[in-house]
Structure 1
Amino acid sequence: MGYLNLVAGAIVTIAASASAQDTLGLANGYTTFQTSRLKGQIVKSSQTLASLNSSASGFDFLPFDYLSNLAFNGAHHLGDVTLRYRTSNKSTWNSVDSASARKPVTPLAKLAPGVVAGSDLAPTLRNGLPFKVTREWISLGEDFSLRVNITNTGTSTLEFGSLGLPVSINNIFTNRPAEETQDKCSFADPYIGLHAGYVRVSHLKGTGNALVIAPLANTRFEAWRFLPEPIGNFGYQSQTYEGNYEWQIHSLAWAQNEWNSSTPWNTPTSKTLIPGEVYSVGLQFALADSIQDIENTVSKAGIPLSVGIPGYVVPIGSTARLYVNYTSDVKAFSSGGAFTISSPAAAGGAYELTPTGSVWGRARLDLVYQDGKEQTIHYFIPKAAPATLGDMGNFFTTFAYYNDTSDPFGRAPSIMTYDSEVNAIVQQDSRVWIAGLSDEGGTGAYLAAAMKQFIQPVARELSAVDDFIHDTLVGTLQRDGTLGVVASSFFYEPAAVNYTYSSALDWTSWTSWNRSRAYTTRRAYNYVHPVATLWSMYRIARDYPEHGLRANWQWYLNRAYSTTQYCLSNKAANCDYGLVGLMGETVLGELLQDLKRENMTTEATALEATMQYRAQLWDTQPVPFGSEMAWDSTGQEGVYYWANYFNLQATATKAIDSILAYMPTVPHWGWNGNARRYWDFVYAAKIQQIERQLHHYGSGLNSLPMLSYYEQHPTDLYALRVAFAGNTAPLTNIAQSGFASAAFHSYPELLKWDPYSGDYGQGFLGLALGQCVYIVNDAKFGDLAFGGDIDKTASNSTAVVVQPKDALRRRVFVADLGLKIELSAGAIEKVVYDKTQKEVTLTVVPAVTADALSAAKAVVWLKQPGTSELAYEVSGAAKARGGWESLFSEGVGTVKIKKI
């Protein structure tokens, strides 16, 4: 969802006076430094960091070009310090912030070896403090470090309940054209893992060097706090400037006050200092050769490195591996009863973690090393994937099912946005699309319910979705016999409709569209959701013909095709934003493949021409990821799909590099595979604010190009780890009740799922199109399975036996062969890959769950990226529909695929 472009242009005029203060003292110049890998400048007056560059490329991770506009009180910079303290006999916390009222700091008279600059911060802190704070910038070897020393100078014991080091980078997109944003800006993503925590900073392009900010010595990384700051003239905390965060070493004072309603990632702590005691903390800055080299750089920095495979979302009934690399051995493990944990000797050097079933949701693994360092690894444990999907499908087609046929907006029957906080359908919202079954914020529930049927069709749920299509999608969303999709079926116009609008809502903003505005059909993004819904029902009608839908499969397929072409053909004549990548448009690729399989040559040729026009346009653009926003993570999926499809590899590579920049892998379920989004809470959530979203729909959708890329580069395990994490992420949004939230609030005062279902369905679409079992033989880790468990008793050196545990259970990719296998229906119960014979044997069954429809047959499709003719022999199936048809005559079938 995106309308922030309507206000972004005004940002440059807001609070311009703030930048005129120059309390940093920039006119007094800079101190320069250089290591073998990093170079930069320190502001002489404030001794905060002004620039931090790669010595090799010259790329600056800090906003040096905007520094003069960020020199006012309240704007934080690297080198600033925030604290909360109290004396031992008082309960009130006192706050101190070196950025709040700046004055030139006092340079230290004597600097230790390697210290480039040092200062006493007393002038820029409050008067009369019972402690002293000094700061040192240290240049040693390849790296550069910040050290902060706190000395209790009073006569009483002091307790520090908060100690924070702001991390400000160049994430300011305001006033920058797309190319400049790509060239100059960076992203920061945290791993909040105590002594093993770090912040990874990547260049927007996804190429070149990356930066690792790691703990110095025994510094903890306990929490990640957003820093409230003046808006300035770049629109702080806006779509074009996410803002700054703080590395919290201790957080007890926040946990006892502002954060007392949330469950923190780590146990909050404080630090006690007796009179005369000195406490030193700090950060070290290390340059990584590339984003893919970040983990190696972490190890070189001397902090524990953990790698979870397949990731940190572990459904009940599955097993995950954890590889630990550190110079000190693990002394103790604790998971609060969430996992049973095997020793590394039993799993080829990895700990194996199996959920006990006693914990659902967030889980934490606490590690203590022999040298005393502590690490936390953050997991999420959902129910088994099919059970999770079953809950979601049932919830949305019952509790979120709207059947009031007297509704004046024509929304019945439908599956609508749901508010889990009040346990009710959202029948009205001043952001009208949320209650209007369109835009992303209003489609999430029905799209998720429809795509769930593609994975796991249940008769009652199918009827609900089918009725929605025939009675509401056609007639209300696609009005007056046209194929145009309205922006919202709900609107605010009291004179035009007999409806009681809530007086508790503000109907005066631009979001409360009248009927004329709501019924516009020009927004291209609105078309993917109904197309995906129609395509899903085509696949049901085609593969489960014994279950009678209200139309035949040809009707659903033709309407999906016609709706797509109405919007996107003729050079996007009928739609705005038709020439940018659309969220979820991988489904348009599936649609094209099915048109070809059904020998609908005329339609397939026309759709292919539409997509080729768009792809060739993107191939001429330096930054082809346009959107309604100044910067976005939504266009990359569509740009990649069609650039790759038409072999425009330079553009496809741009898309992958871009995704790698904003989609990290770290030992935390929330950030692992999390594609960067931080403004859609404003448009699709109940708690409306600019805030880093965890597993918003970007995670599932951006996983699709990464999975495709991996399938073409099957030795790139890093790509698979990122991709699989993002693709599995939509499982975490689904509550035990089956309700699915738009995203998780990452601010430490919240740390909870948003009460609105909002735009969840787009991420679930990514899961549905991407779930697959990946069988990998890695040079470092050996035989691995993503989306399944290796049966160790049945496997040996020549054969790998895998039990699928993913949500779909109809796709397998064998990395050694570069081969992808997909079933049109039913489920894969077991996979055997014979390495010597180059043969894959599938045991297939009619249904994935007991309540799902059973298929009488399934088509098996083979795909080998980059290969036009597949050199495989398929037994147990006959040629049909672009693949091989397998029958379930005995309730189970066997399909063998052998490389010739």
Structure 2
Amino acid sequence: MMKRSVARKSLVGLGLAAIVLMFPVAAKPVADTVTQKFETPEFRLSLQQNSQTLVSLAPKAASDGFDFAPSGRFKTRLGNGAYRLGDIDLRVRSAGEAEWHDYSSAFKRAAVKPLAKEAGVLAAADISASVGGPIKVERRWVQEGGKLALRFTLTNTSEVAVEVGGLGIPMIFDNIITGRTLDEAHEKASFYDPYVGRDAGYLQVNRLNGRGPSLLVLPEAGTPFELYKPILNARNADKSLKIYNDPEQRNMTFEGFYDWMVTSKGFADTEWKGVSQWNETTSFTLAPGASRTIGVRFVTAPSVRKIEATLIAEGRPVAVGLPGYIVPTDMKAQLFLHAPAAVKSAEVFPAGALKLGTPEAVRDGWMKYSVQGVSLGRARLTLTYADGTVQTIHYLVTKPEAEAVADMGRFLFSKQWYENPNDLFHRSPSVMGYDKEEGHIITQDNRVWVAGLSDEGGAGGWLAAAMKELDNPVPEEVAKFERFANETLWGHIQVSEGPEKYGVRKSIFYYDPEHFPAGTYDPKLNWKTWASWDKKGADDIGRSFNYPHVAAAWWMLYRVGRYHEGLVTQPWQTYLTRAAETIKAMMVKAPYYTQFGQMEGDVFVAILKDLKREGMTAEASEIEALMKTRADHWKTLKYPFGSEMPWDSTGQPEVYAWMRYFGYQDQAAATREVILAYDPTIPHWGYNGSARRFWDFLYAGKISRIERQLHHYGSSNNALPLFDSYRANPEDFYLLRVAYGGLMGSLSNIDENGFASAAFHSFPDMMKFDPINGDYGSSFFAHAYAAASYLVNHPVFGWVGMGGNVSEANGKVVIAPKDSARTRLFIAPEKLWLTLDAGKIDAAAYDPKSGSVVLTLAPKDAHTSKAVLNIAGGYHLAQGGTVVALDAKPVEVMLVKN
């Protein structure tokens, strides 16, 4: 991913349609800026007087004047096409018509007709003049039972039946970062994500700084949350080109707004035809003179962690899936439900994709189902409750983790293995990016780094390959990677000689047609963009974000060489030294961006700790001093995780890691809470633990556009601080849930053949993983770094295994790890953190009474004759030492309290 200068140069790879979207049609301001002010027990709100659309929605629980609505941009958002909360979108057709017609109260505003206010109504209006079409629309802002609600009544005024195939309630909150500093964005802006759970669905709006309150938008009767549609367009009169009218440009500082879709069949049958949506798409028909009322309520939760408790208090069905909603076929998952009515029926689509166990009561009103993944791919569980409420929960079934990772390794070292001694750019041998649609390696891209083995989008293939070997080394794969490291990485990607030694180039592919034979460059690609660097631009070593990839590669080779026999050809000291020198080079040769956290920056902490353990004191001291200068700077900042972007979810993990390392606990805690603001727990595999990102398809995707990315590399990387925080405070189970969602999200990108995609396209016209690898390597870095199993005794849910299957017998609790590494285990009641530098854990039996733990270690293999155990948490091996000789059969060892 190349992120520099994007404010000026954000059109790379977009194409004509997207360029039209980027530049809005000028709005014509409406003169009336008079507002009406109201209060409810939770909010201070104001409406524009002449339209009765929302101007401000300030929660009383926030003492700093925070506003969920973009009130600061009210005067710039007065014209046609600028959506506000209180607008409505319709797609309808009359009986006998085949074609759908679009209407919106935001397309061409007209004066609304105020209506008499019944009891509890704050404002009411007939807004039909703005909407147009055969349906009269009345809108009411209501206070009922102390809660604020927005309701629309739709009435068919024509003489024939009208089918409503698209009904959208625009969700307009202040997610606009444009023109704000990092501090201002965190103080004033919000991000929001949907739970498209039909009647049980909701929208959660969280402040960027992670502080409460959070806003929940809840459905009223007849208002299922069917789909979540980006607001991108208005139809021209000739129904041709769709033009984005919002005065805010969609780019890296504004992802756009969305519609809460109550019905969407009119889109599913046309623009989205053939695309499998999250829910079954519907429409409804209004007979002549018939009406239907839909609406949403606005409720505040005290904090992000209290969202589910607030939903329960509001009488909403709540689902908690453990370890999440990405379910490997060998994982015994669980689903806990809390609802005001009993489950009447449960249906799985596709049929048989999931196997549900018999429900059983747990405590405090919770019911438990066992969930077994059967068929690979997306699966939807539809629950119908006795009161008629319908809830959908969205799962993804994968292969067992170890099998999926092994598939990926084989794919990387076969399909993505590039061997061409005549390559003009010295990229051979290497693991390169791959285009799944075309079925070949990406040797050319006008974003030159994508084909140039550097930056996130070009290093993604080989970085994933490196980290795959960290926990699961295969001799043939390690041998290939070492060849790449010593023949291509060392000397071409990373400078190996002269004063620039250890500097990392931005790309080793570049555009220079004068110095290469005719036909070198594909004429079908646009080589006139800023992203088509010449050799000088590609050789630049000043981008610090390229250095962690290289450091991770050397670190992996060190670890494999140090703790396994006969897998690498050079001394492990060589690779650890290169890793250390890469860190130092970053600080000297690419200093500017080191003021920000780096993606994969946790590897720097790991390298420093390894240097200390190996007695390489001089190297360790130098690196520690360099890193402390960064940490000391971050310690002075209110929000210490800036980026080369106006806002980012890249830097927080490394910032957190160094804050913890140097004992700056307040800054670490602030960083953790910010992560929770953009990293949700939602009963949906795509959103659960999916740290927000919406621009990296521009830089590392094939389908290049601004779009909420699901399980981009931010998911697994932002899980790292949450795992660490949870191990420090196992009472905060919420942290573990979010973290595990992100960790598993990294596996969702691996298809059944082993191809790993950059991220999932969430827009309803696409709904698929991107066809190229892109920057997936950064995602798998964090997965391999953090893969572990967690044994938890939850006060309501009982014994839970996150990453492992749990059983109880003879007073002991046994966890059999099923995570992709099987080298890390946390036993939460004891705060016992076990990690293996070599060896695998088959099982652990924990005795809650004595606290003893019996580990069963997997048999040795040809390159691993001993297990090397690290113990944190007040335990020791009964036999003494930390090294265990392995055998041809599993070996049991006991850990006892000190």
Structure 2 residue identity aligned to 1:857: K
2:545 is matched with which residue? 525
Q: 1:327 aligns with which of 340, 355, 378?
A: 340
1:868 is matched with which residue? none
1:557 is matched with which residue? 576
Residues 687-698 of structure 1 mapped to structure 2, 5 A cutoff: 687-698=703-714
**Cα separation, 2, equivalents of 1:164 and 1:346:** 38
**Cα separation, 1, equivalents of 2:277 and 2:411:** 29
- Measured at CA, do residues 447 and 350 of structure 1 come closer, stay the same or move farther in structure 2, by a change above 3 Å? farther
1:42 is matched with which residue? 47
1:124 is matched with which residue? 130
Instruction: Please give the TM-score of this superposition, normalised by the length of structure 2.
Output: 0.94
Deviation at 1:815, TM superposition (A): 1.1
Matched, 1:88 2:95: yes
Q: Indicate the larger mover: 299-308 or 676-685.
A: 299-308
**Cα separation, 2, equivalents of 1:678 and 1:510:** 21
**Secondary structure, aligned partner of 2:468:** helix
Q: Indicate the larger mover: 701-710 or 833-842.
A: 833-842
Contact 1:539 1:553 in 2 (8 A): yes
**Secondary structure, aligned partner of 1:824:** strand
Deviation at 1:228, TM superposition (A): 1.1
- Measured at CA, do residues 732 and 645 of structure 1 come closer, stay the same or move farther in structure 2, by a change above 3 Å? same
Structure 2 residue identity aligned to 1:550: T
**Cα separation, 1, equivalents of 2:596 and 2:173:** 29
Deviation at 1:566, TM superposition (A): 1.3
**Secondary structure, aligned partner of 2:600:** coil
Deviation at 1:94, TM superposition (A): 1.2
CA-based RMSD of the aligned residues comes to: 1.9
**Cα separation, 1, equivalents of 2:56 and 2:412:** 50
Instruction: Please give the TM-score of this superposition, normalised by the length of structure 1.
Output: 0.94
Deviation at 1:21, TM superposition (A): 2.1
**Cα separation, 2, equivalents of 1:480 and 1:790:** 49
Matched, 1:507 2:507: no
Structure 1 residue identity aligned to 2:145: G
Matched, 1:371 2:376: no
**Secondary structure, aligned partner of 1:608:** helix
Contact 2:542 2:590 in 1 (8 A): yes
5+ long unaligned stretches in structure 2: 12-20, 234-242
Matched, 1:439 2:437: no
2:357 is matched with which residue? 342
Deviation at 1:818, TM superposition (A): 1.2
Matched, 1:67 2:74: yes
Sequence identity percentage: 40
Residues 400-419 of structure 1 mapped to structure 2, 5 A cutoff: 400-419=416-435
Matched, 1:111 2:117: yes
Residues 123-162 of structure 1 mapped to structure 2, 5 A cutoff: 123-126=129-132, 129-162=133-166
Residues 818-829 of structure 1 mapped to structure 2, 5 A cutoff: 818-829=831-842
**Cα separation, 2, equivalents of 1:853 and 1:716:** 41
**Cα separation, 1, equivalents of 2:659 and 2:24:** 45
Matched, 1:172 2:176: yes
Deviation sequence 1:321-376 (CA, Å, 0-9, x none): 1111111110001112112211232877543344353x111111111111111111
**Cα separation, 2, equivalents of 1:497 and 1:846:** 54
- Measured at CA, do residues 422 and 86 of structure 1 come closer, stay the same or move farther in structure 2, by a change above 3 Å? same
When the two structures are aligned, how many residues end up with a matched partner? Answer: 870
Q: 2:56 aligns with which of 51, 58, 68?
A: 51
Q: 1:860 aligns with which of 869, 874, 881?
A: 869
**Secondary structure, aligned partner of 1:791:** strand
**Secondary structure, aligned partner of 1:248:** strand
**Secondary structure, aligned partner of 2:393:** strand
Deviation at 1:872, TM superposition (A): 2.1
Q: 1:211 aligns with which of 199, 215, 222?
A: 215
1:633 is matched with which residue? 649
Deviation at 1:877, TM superposition (A): 5.2
2:237 is matched with which residue? none
**Cα separation, 2, equivalents of 1:406 and 1:877:** 55
Deviation sequence 1:642-670 (CA, Å, 0-9, x none): 00111111211121111011000000000
- Measured at CA, do residues 540 and 346 of structure 1 come closer, stay the same or move farther in structure 2, by a change above 3 Å? farther
**Secondary structure, aligned partner of 2:166:** strand
**Secondary structure, aligned partner of 1:119:** strand
1:838 is matched with which residue? 851
Deviation sequence 1:238-263 (CA, Å, 0-9, x none): 10111100000000000001111311
**Cα separation, 2, equivalents of 1:235 and 1:285:** 25
1:249 is matched with which residue? 262
Residues 164-203 of structure 1 mapped to structure 2, 5 A cutoff: 164-203=168-207
5+ long unaligned stretches in structure 1: 865-870, 879-883
Deviation at 1:573, TM superposition (A): 5.1
Deviation sequence 1:409-448 (CA, Å, 0-9, x none): 0000000010000000000000000000000000111111
**Secondary structure, aligned partner of 1:211:** strand
**Cα separation, 2, equivalents of 1:709 and 1:105:** 52
**Cα separation, 2, equivalents of 1:726 and 1:355:** 20
**Cα separation, 1, equivalents of 2:702 and 2:604:** 30
Deviation sequence 1:781-809 (CA, Å, 0-9, x none): 221110011124x3x6x421111111111
Contact 2:713 2:758 in 1 (8 A): yes
**Cα separation, 2, equivalents of 1:70 and 1:122:** 21
Contact 2:176 2:253 in 1 (8 A): yes
Structure 1 residue identity aligned to 2:875: Y
Matched, 1:897 2:895: yes
Deviation sequence 1:575-615 (CA, Å, 0-9, x none): 33122100011111111121122122222222211111111
Residues 677-826 of structure 1 mapped to structure 2, 5 A cutoff: 677-792=693-808, 794=809, 798-826=811-839
**Cα separation, 2, equivalents of 1:356 and 1:623:** 41
Contact 2:2 2:455 in 1 (8 A): no
Deviation at 1:541, TM superposition (A): 0.7
2:609 is matched with which residue? 593
Deviation at 1:17, TM superposition (A): 9.4
Residues 230-245 of structure 1 mapped to structure 2, 5 A cutoff: 235-245=248-258
**Secondary structure, aligned partner of 1:816:** helix
**Cα separation, 2, equivalents of 1:574 and 1:725:** 34
Deviation sequence 1:439-491 (CA, Å, 0-9, x none): 00001111111111111111111111111001000111023522111000000
Matched, 1:422 2:420: no
Q: 1:98 aligns with which of 87, 96, 105?
A: 105
Q: Indicate the larger mover: 834-843 or 733-742.
A: 834-843
Contact 2:790 2:826 in 1 (8 A): yes
Structure 2 residue identity aligned to 1:534: W
Matched, 1:494 2:496: no
